[in-house]
Amino acid sequence: MVHQLSLFGTIDDKSYDLFLSTMSILSGTPPVLFANITNVWTTNKSYEFERVNSKNQLTELNRIKVSKSLPLQFLIVEDDSVLSHKLLKKIGQLEAPIEPSALEKYVQDIKYERASSLGDDSKMDVDASSMSEPEAEPWALSMSDIPAAGKSRKVSMQTISESIILTTGGTNSSTSSFLKELGYVPEYRYITVGVKFYMANDMVLDIQKLWDLRNDRSLQITKGGYLIKAYVNVNRSTDIERINQAETALLSLQKELQGYVDLVVPDRKAMDSRLNNMGDII
């Protein structure tokens, strides 16, 4: 579980090169290209869920995000293209950053076969391949609270719980079957491709484009621009000193970019993963 402090902003497509140059100077580090696939799961309406916990307190039902990295070599690029920050400009003009057939191949469920000899888990295979191969990338399961309320807040503050799914038990087990047994069904899927800068004070800045893959179609949500997210993760919500340090770092970056890029606190409802909300995408 982490306590994430963040600010969001946007730039248009034409500002991409200049913004990357600016951030390279401010951070002193080169941009790092990344691509992620995220599946969002919601509760199965065929089931009735108790909304009261063991302390007789009313609880909210939340969506679950299950995500993992996409191999960069499978993005739609020209044969002679170099996998660098320049790639984001090229695929940013496309309706989909990866071929559907390639996507299905590399986001298939992770199935595990445990060694039968003496119950030795050290001989566990993952789809007959090693964990270092792209298709063996584990899924990360996460749930998040709605960001803290308050008009006086200078940064967004949100609690996120995340776990890495390394194995699921049972015969022919998979991530999908595991979530379905919890009473969840797939709702929608999206792909994020972007670059990130690792900055001082453990701050990370992402410049990204998003594609919604809902209803077997691909739609670029960020067409014409890029979504910017600057954030710092704090391990404990009770670490007030670290939270204040993270907030100061974010506000300092906000001031540095003032007049060029507006980093702001987003509408907390846009980051609400509760079922009563229509959807959260960031």
Distance CA 206, CA 33 (A): 10
Pair of tokens at residue 97: 């950053």
The b-or-e profile of 229-263 (16+ CB within 10 A means b, else e) is: bbbbbbeeeeeeebbebbbebbeebbeebeeebeb
Q: Where are the domains of the chain?
A: 2-271
> For the residues 2-24, what does the mean pLDDT come to?
95
**Stronger pLDDT, 177 or 255, i.e. the higher one:** 255
Segment 257-264 shows an average pLDDT of 94
Mean pLDDT (whole number) for 220-247: 94
One CATH from 2.40.320.10, 3.40.50.12280, 3.40.50.150, 2.60.40.420 for 2-271: 2.40.320.10
Which range (22-31, 142-151, 211-220) has the least confidence?
211-220
Q: Quote the percentage of the chain above a pLDDT of 90.
A: 45
Amino acid 118: pLDDT? 32
Which pLDDT score, from 0 to 100, does residue 129 have?
35
- Determine the 3-state secondary structure of 233 from DSSP: strand
- Residue 240 confidence (pLDDT): 94
Q: What is the mean pLDDT of the chain?
A: 82
46-55, 100-109, 153-162: which range is least confident on average? 100-109
Instruction: Specify the pTM.
Output: 0.83
Residue 201 is predicted with a pLDDT of 93
Mean of pLDDT values over 246-252: 97
Lookup: tokens for 1: 């579980």
pLDDT value of position 279: 54
Residue 4 near residue 246, CB atoms below 8 Å: no
Q: How far apart are CA 111 and CA 128, in angstroms?
A: 9
Picking from 175, 143, 148, 151, the residue whose alpha carbon sits closest to that of residue 280 is 143
Degrees (nearest 5) of the Cα angle 204, 270, 202?
15
SS3 167: coil
**pLDDT of 16 strictly over 90:** yes
Give residue 215's pLDDT.
66
Query: Looking at residue 124, what is its pLDDT?
Result: 30
pLDDT digits (tens, 9 = 90+) for 113-134: 333 333 444 333 333 333 334 4
Closest by CA position to 282, among listed 58, 2, 3, 6: 6
Nearest-angstrom CA–CA distance, 246 and 58: 32
Taken in order 15, 21, 27, 29, the sign of the CA dihedral is: positive
Residue 268's pLDDT is what? 87
204: part of which helix (H) or strand (E)?
A: strand 204-212
For the chain, the first-to-last Cα distance in angstroms comes to: 18
**Confidence check: pLDDT of 251 > 90:** yes
- pLDDT category of residue 107 using cuts at 50, 70 and 90: low
Name the pLDDT band for 79 (thresholds 50, 70, 90): low
- Asked if residues 66 and 38 have their Cβ atoms less than 8 Å apart, the reply is yes
